[in-house]
Structure 1
Amino acid sequence: MNKLLSAGLAGLAVVTLALPAAAHTGHADGMGFLAGFLHPLGGLDHLLAMVAVGLWAAQTGGRALWMLPVAFVTMLTGGALAGMSGIEVPMVEAGIAASVAVLGLLVLLNKRVPVSAGMALVGVFAVFHGHAHGAEMPATAQPMLFGAGFILSTVLLHGAGIAAMAIGRGVARRSARPTAA
């Protein structure tokens, strides 16, 4: 089940690379928390990358279970502040696309790295995602509410990845048990 889930994530990552980064069309016309909360859900690239962080954290286990998502959210916030401030970050769209591909492959290959290296990697990717969220925040938005919305949404997407991995492992364990004769 774990391999099936991983293969599905990798397949979606490949499909996403062929699409424009859908969450970056200036569509966030809302002004507060709900608009911020919905922004990461509006693009497959954000969904896949943020769920992949949770999947990879759960695969890695130990301290990575919480440290990878915390690193992502921390750097996402920094990237968002840069985007809101008009600070340019080069190759944001390419960085977002790379995050989907790389994180998808890490999950597919069940690749474990030192926690600090994993934190650095997801942190770099988070800057791109955060910058996109911050730069696209509507001028009429309430920055604190909009930011709180996309941060909560991101945390929940990480949690969805962690939960999916836990469910997948539970199903795999149950299916591996010998049946009573």
Structure 2
Amino acid sequence: MKKSVLQLFVPISCVLAPASAWAHTGAHDVMGFVPGFSHPMGGADHVLAMVAAGVWAVQQGGRSLWAVPGAFVAMMMAGGMLGLAGMTLPYVELGILMSVLVLGALVAGAFEMPLAFSASMVGVFALCHGYVHGVEMPSAANAVPYSLGFVLATILLHAVGMAMGVILRKLNTEKAMRLAGAAITLGGIYLGIG
């Protein structure tokens, strides 16, 4: 009984989180590491996508365990640099929303894909996430500690997703992992219409 309640708590709380929990409010007090770290943690869209990427990496196994999160982090940093440089990247909010929907669906369906395709797809999504981090950082902010903050937060969120995946796999509850993916996708739908 206790285990099933815990398995439902996280997905349900993600779905019920208000759209105001999105990280892209446009109003950030950004000066360094702590605000950079809190930016990905402060929005349901970022949290859901990054946790889903970690869970999906575990589902795929093998080299995906490092390649999927690694591609996400590398491309997110590239996106952050594009945002800081003032480059224009169209449809970033749509890309972020799609990252939640698609990664959640991939976990729900336990889809396995070639490593190069998986890493590339996650990289495109990460470019959008990183771009927003860079754009929303005021010019007066210190870019290095802020960037270090959002990179470390992303790594932590991937690690949380991977830990969830490993624990659920060890408990032999693939169904719970798939339900978590479905809940992430539902959370993305809620964010999209909220």
Partner of 2:79: 79
Any unmatched runs of 5+ in structure 1? 174-181
- Asked whether the equivalents of residues 52 and 161 of structure 1 are also in contact (C-alpha less than 8 Å), the reply is yes
Amino acid at match of 2:169: R
Mapping of residues 14-163 of structure 1, within 5 Å: 19=19, 22-163=22-163
Amino acid at match of 1:160: V
Aligned counterparts of 1:19 and 1:122: Cα–Cα separation in 2: 23
Query: Aligned to 2:113, what secondary structure does the other structure show?
Result: coil
Give the count of matched residue pairs. Answer: 168
Amino acid at match of 2:67: M
Higher Cα Rg, which structure: 1
- Asked whether the equivalents of residues 75 and 130 of structure 2 are also in contact (C-alpha less than 8 Å), the reply is yes
User: Structure 1 vs Structure 2: percent identity of aligned residues?
Assistant: 46
Q: Which moved more, 1:144-153 or 1:163-172?
A: 163-172
Cα deviation, 1:19-53, whole Å, max 9, x if unaligned, reads 37811112320300111000001100000001111
Distance change (3 Å), C-alpha of 1:171 and 1:21: same
Aligned counterparts of 1:56 and 1:11: Cα–Cα separation in 2: 20
Aligned counterparts of 2:13 and 2:102: Cα–Cα separation in 1: 12
Distance change (3 Å), C-alpha of 1:116 and 1:11: farther
4+ aligned runs moved over 4 Å, structure 1 = 8-13
Q: Give how far 1:171 is off.
A: 2.1
Any unmatched runs of 5+ in structure 2? 174-194
Aligned counterparts of 1:46 and 1:96: Cα–Cα separation in 2: 8
Cα deviation, 1:39-81, whole Å, max 9, x if unaligned, reads 0011000000011110000110000000001100010000000
Query: Aligned to 2:164, what secondary structure does the other structure show?
Result: helix
Aligned counterparts of 2:113 and 2:147: Cα–Cα separation in 1: 30
Could you state the TM-score of these two structures normalised by the residue count of structure 1? 0.85
Aligned counterparts of 2:62 and 2:12: Cα–Cα separation in 1: 24
Distance change (3 Å), C-alpha of 1:5 and 1:83: farther
- Asked whether the equivalents of residues 21 and 93 of structure 1 are also in contact (C-alpha less than 8 Å), the reply is no
Amino acid at match of 1:55: V
Partner of 1:166: 166
Aligned counterparts of 1:67 and 1:84: Cα–Cα separation in 2: 25
Amino acid at match of 1:82: L
- Asked whether the equivalents of residues 21 and 42 of structure 2 are also in contact (C-alpha less than 8 Å), the reply is no
